[in-house]
Structure 1
């Protein structure tokens, strides 16, 4: 039984570890610990049963964002319904197992990027799979779920909505919104590798992918997207609507990305060393 469910993929964090431990900062406390102890909660992916009213609200929100979205997303809506209606151990592991499935698809593509190889993205199926993988890594986090709860809470203060579970709706929308982000990456995103040969490592956090050109939590279709994803302490991935050649970053740019990543984090900041977290 997978009781401890991670909202940041442990395999992703491995490049920041030494002897299977990672340096972390949380609530101004700096410590060195196992990946099993960070960015996880008991049964984080368990989805409570969606009522017919809640499912109707979710469909209505999706329809307002993009009227063509629901037919395209039916399979993922079906996954959510099955996850919410399942019982016992199956309910506890349903979405956790789905995330593991997507991680296994993304893993070899991420390994290629470690080597500086983007050729695999020239194959449309690989590009689509990796784009959805990235979308899910963005939206699966605790921060995104909490942000959606905060955004939607004012909409459900009326007495007629007292049976609506905002946490359940936010969980479902976080899962479904990976499709929107993945579709943008696949259709309009350009991939740029940022090499870090400085003496300052890329940091990462419990919100490892962030958009510094747009506030994703505001929803809608952004005019501009630019995602940054540190994939190792010495390599970052930029995904932009612009075509930007791969490049070596300056210390100033590394510091900029690190500072932005810290500001976008929820609880955890991760590093290869203690000093960079002070």
Structure 2
């Protein structure tokens, strides 16, 4: 087996679906750190780093890269047939497609640079809290470095239990596909699986992939996006499950593109050099230019320590905010009759 040196955390097979329609297709890239954009024709160096998944454990050399390659090799033929059936034959999402997609999405959620950054911030925040309270051992502080962070990240991906936890959570949601009927293309990014919390809680994070009220978006290409929504809050959409639904209002596209800009690590991608929205967002929120901007908050209550970030956190049921106070534009897409009060 040949050694893979440049290891991708977003597959090239995914990114190529956002290439332009030019004679020489290119992927347009927006860099949040510089607010600059450029086009690339070679995807080899996009969302890839030298030995990104390799640790000092020699017995596992290239093992994770091989595991990811096997998952992708099974997924992409299904993805292509799914799009053909959806666009040309208007067939709904099947159980086989859902099973394959949920595995792929779980892996994509775990494998990216933003996840590695969040792991780093969780560990640092916890150690800072323990140090302030004189609870941290000296060896913990000395051992926290980039190698240790990488080891933790890679071990998460090696764990089928972690992948299945997220996969099973995604499987519980209502699934459907949006068809973009506007002239604005969908963005994607180096963290393409984005989420929006329709509920809030003063003590718990409500933006986990299994949280009540969560909405999850994954662009398939510039015109189609897979959407997953919490079955409990959005029970009125059960009749739309597995179908393809049109989006005709540009505000909806702006909403999802906005999430891609906010939740990406560094890069946003598009099939055209249409990054006016991305530029506006970064200019209004300058902290986004720093890839290490704080994304983790530690809260202490009565000797209990809470980390306000989680993939699957499911806090106790809380009173839903009044309809008039909701800021999500999902209410523009559907009748308010399915809101759970």
TM-score category, normalised to shorter length: 0.7 to 0.9
Aligned to 2:168: 183
Pair 1:30-2:8 in alignment: no
Q: Pairwise mapping of residues 184-203 of structure 1 onto structure 2 (< 5 A)?
A: 184-186=169-171, 188-203=172-187
CA distance in 2, matches of 1:262, 1:269: 6
Is the partner of 1:212 in helix, strand or coil?
strand
- Given candidates 152, 159, 163, the residue that maps to 2:138 is 159
Q: How big is the shift at 1:172? A: 2.0
CA distance in 2, matches of 1:210, 1:201: 16
Q: How big is the shift at 1:107? A: 0.9
Going from structure 1 to structure 2, the CA distance change for 1:184 and 1:219 (only over 3 Å counts) comes to closer
Question: Which consecutive unaligned segments of at least 5 residues does structure 2 have?
Answer: 128-135, 199-203, 232-236, 280-341
Aligned to 1:17: 19
CA distance in 1, matches of 2:219, 2:209: 25
CA distance in 2, matches of 1:111, 1:145: 29
Going from structure 1 to structure 2, the CA distance change for 1:102 and 1:217 (only over 3 Å counts) comes to farther
Going from structure 1 to structure 2, the CA distance change for 1:219 and 1:236 (only over 3 Å counts) comes to closer
Is the partner of 2:29 in helix, strand or coil?
strand
Going from structure 1 to structure 2, the CA distance change for 1:227 and 1:47 (only over 3 Å counts) comes to farther
- Contact 2:28 2:272 survives alignment (8 Å): yes
Is the partner of 2:220 in helix, strand or coil?
strand
Going from structure 1 to structure 2, the CA distance change for 1:120 and 1:221 (only over 3 Å counts) comes to closer
TM-score after normalising by structure 1: 0.75
Pair 1:171-2:150 in alignment: no
Q: Pairwise mapping of residues 43-192 of structure 1 onto structure 2 (< 5 A)?
A: 43-49=51-57, 85-86=59-60, 91=61, 93-115=62-84, 116=86, 119=92, 121-123=94-96, 126-156=97-127, 158-161=137-140, 162-163=142-143, 165-173=148-156, 176=159, 177-186=162-171, 188-192=172-176
State the number of aligned residues.
236
- Contact 1:147 1:217 survives alignment (8 Å): no
Question: Which consecutive unaligned segments of at least 5 residues does structure 1 have?
Answer: 50-83
Going from structure 1 to structure 2, the CA distance change for 1:181 and 1:208 (only over 3 Å counts) comes to same
TM-score after normalising by structure 2: 0.62
Structure number with larger C-alpha Rg: 2
CA distance in 1, matches of 2:74, 2:205: 25
How much is the aligned-residue C-alpha RMSD, in angstroms? Answer: 2.6
